[in-house]
């Protein structure tokens, strides 16, 4: 049998808080999506190196001003966090907490790729939860430093009346900046295992993977550091994630590593067992390259180009909206071969613009280009491409009061307001726009370009120094946007989205 060569990171893109499982010969994992919709992406793989998006838990999460980017409200850095994925008695379960709603959610389905998913809402936060099915009983572990256990009903839809609900233990605090969180729970060979990430101030001073184990559900638990390595990258620890086995009884962990502006990227780590303790990596290190005993099974790319040739008004799974979309004001069928974004509400900047359509960026470098037809834009409209994070940068077209058009490059000038750094007149209706992202060695620079003839490109504005900030808590995304500052109803037509993954400079 041909073997698959794994190279770490397996994806150089923002796929954080991963939780993997195996069902038969297929591997699935869920990750955090916060303010991106549809949310809670489910990825699948046959060979552990090549992954594709198989679906999402939900199209939209809640219907309120914050989720809809209305009345100045938003859920940047909130929404779904650190979901837990399990398969039990033929049914799939995903749970997570949401900081903006202060609630705990459990979604279940018989078909992880097609759904439908049934949702249960349980009041109260359960930070970074981990589901555990133990016989006919169901538990959730959660917390930061103080680790709790709560018993749920057998179908995980509610807290069980009279069930276990208590502080389980307190994790180390001496010399620790970020105490244990990001729990993943398992019952294996007579032991209960709880995995966490923590961030010490001492030693290497980087995030590391911790394991607690016990013969008894309620303890006492023993503690061990099972991985403290940075894959040779800027002292960024590889940690937080789950473990799983293959049909050949070989074990692996899927963890993630901070890579600055591109986001938190997943890494696959071999796991061995020694005296019933998991041993992560090879000689304590995350290997950059190794073989797995699975035949190669290539998949489509994580980020795609799109000519917008759709027969129905449904986008490819690679696309996500920034917050809930307003489905009345976008279309890929109204003008065949185009994505039409229509301004259905007023906004002060791209951060409050409804219906911004996004995909991830990828390292070491990448670039994206669109052809924008501005003929139906109204005075006060602004449309184009955005490098989306709190410290955003845009290359786009603004329509003036008298309908005159200008190509502009803007950044966040503070408090989310746009600051225009450069502008040139646009005499035609159609213009090509491009953003180049360089993440190599955390250079984290974006540059902005335009072309009026489709061949010769001109840089505009200044280089954007991209920064991963916690007010968005997400790696930079590429976004297509159109919004109005004066009157609604104007439309921007995007003829294509063309994406390239590059080696970096």
Can you tell me the distance from the alpha carbon of 135 to that of 302, in angstroms, rounded to the nearest whole number? 37
| Token pair belonging to 475 | 């790696």
**Nearest Cα to Cα of residue 53 among 360, 254, 301, 267:** 301
Mean pLDDT of the chain: 97
pLDDT at 503: 86
Give the single-character DSSP code of 155.
T
306: CB partners within 8 A, 6+ apart: 315, 316, 319, 339, 496, 497
pLDDT at 505: 66
pLDDT at 414: 87
Surface-to-core class of residue 175, CB atoms within 10 Å of its CB (0-12 exposed, 13-18 middle, 19+ buried): exposed
**Which H or E run includes 458?**
strand 458-459
Give every residue of the chain whose pLDDT is below 50, as ranges: none
Going from the N-terminus, what domains does the chain have, and what CATH number goes with each?
4-292 (2.115.10.20), 320-502 (2.60.120.200)
Please count the other Cβ atoms lying within 10 Å of the Cβ belonging to residue 111.
Answer: 11
Can you tell me the distance from the alpha carbon of 154 to that of 137, in angstroms, rounded to the nearest whole number? 6
Cis peptide before 11 (omega within 30 of 0): no
* Cα atoms in the 13 Å half-sphere on the side-chain side of 498: 10
Can you tell me the distance from the alpha carbon of 177 to that of 198, in angstroms, rounded to the nearest whole number? 8
Contact indicator for 419, 409 with CB cutoff of 8 Å: no
71: CB partners within 8 A, 6+ apart: 65
pLDDT at 454: 87
Cis peptide before 364 (omega within 30 of 0): yes
**Rounded to two decimals, what is the model's pTM?**
0.96
**Nearest Cα to Cα of residue 4 among 48, 45, 53:** 48
The catalytic residues are: 17, 181
């Amino acid at each position: 049998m041909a073997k698959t060569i794994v190279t770490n990171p397996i994806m150089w893109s923002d796929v954080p808080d991963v939780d993997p499982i195996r069902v038969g010969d297929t591997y699935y994992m869920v990750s955090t999506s916060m303010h991106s919709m549809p949310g809670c992406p489910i990825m699948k793989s046959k060979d552990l190196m090549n992954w594709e998006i198989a679906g999402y838990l939900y199209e939209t999460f809640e219907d309120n001003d914050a989720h809809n980017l209305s009345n100045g409200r938003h859920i940047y850095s909130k929404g779904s966090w650190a979901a837990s994925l399990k398969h039990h008695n033929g049914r799939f379960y995903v749970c997570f907490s949401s900081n903006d709603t202060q609630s705990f959610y459990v979604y279940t389905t018989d078909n992880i790729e097609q759904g439908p998913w049934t949702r249960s809402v349980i009041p109260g936060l359960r930070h970074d939860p981990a589901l555990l099915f133990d016989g006919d009983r169901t538990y959730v572990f959660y917390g930061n430093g103080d680790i709790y256990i709560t018993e749920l009903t057998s179908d995980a839809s509610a807290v069980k009346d009279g069930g276990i609900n208590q502080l389980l233990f307190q994790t180390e605090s001496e010399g620790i900046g970020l105490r244990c969180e990001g729990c993943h729970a398992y019952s294996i060979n007579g032991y209960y295992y709880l995995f966490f990430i923590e961030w010490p101030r001492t030693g290497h001073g980087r995030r590391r993977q911790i394991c607690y184990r016990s013969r008894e559900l309620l303890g006492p638990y023993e503690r061990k550091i099972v991985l403290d390595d940075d894959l040779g990258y800027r002292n960024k620890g590889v940690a937080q994630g789950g473990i799983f086995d293959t049909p050949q009884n070989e074990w692996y962990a899927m963890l993630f590593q901070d890579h600055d502006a591109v986001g938190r990227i997943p890494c696959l780590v071999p796991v061995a067992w020694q005296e019933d303790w998991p041993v992560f990596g090879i000689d304590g290190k995350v290997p950059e390259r190794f073989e797995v005993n699975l035949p190669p099974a290539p998949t489509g790319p994580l980020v795609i180009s799109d000519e917008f040739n759709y027969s129905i008004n449904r986008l490819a799974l690679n696309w996500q909206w920034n917050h809930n979309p307003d489905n009345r004001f976008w279309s890929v069928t109204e003008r065949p071969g185009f994505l039409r974004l229509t301004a259905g509400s007023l906004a002060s900047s791209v951060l409050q613009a409804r219906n911004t359509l996004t995909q991830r960026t990828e390292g070491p470098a990448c670039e994206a280009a669109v052809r924008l037809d501005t003929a139906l834009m109204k005075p006060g409209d602004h449309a184009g491409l955005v490098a989306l994070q709190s410290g955003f940068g845009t290359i786009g077209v603004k329509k003036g009061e008298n309908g005159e058009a200008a190509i502009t490059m803007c950044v966040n000038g503070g408090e989310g307001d746009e600051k225009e750094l450069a502008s040139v007149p646009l005499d035609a209706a159609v213009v090509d726009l491009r953003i180049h992202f360089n993440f190599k060695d955390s250079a984290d620079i974006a540059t902005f370009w335009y072309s009026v003839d489709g061949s010769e490109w001109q840089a505009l504005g200044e280089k954007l120094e991209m920064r991963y900030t916690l007010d968005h808590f997400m790696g930079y995304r590429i976004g297509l946007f159109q919004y109005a500052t004066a009157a609604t109803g104007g439309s921007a037509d995007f003829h294509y989205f063309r994406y390239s993954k590059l080696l970096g400079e």
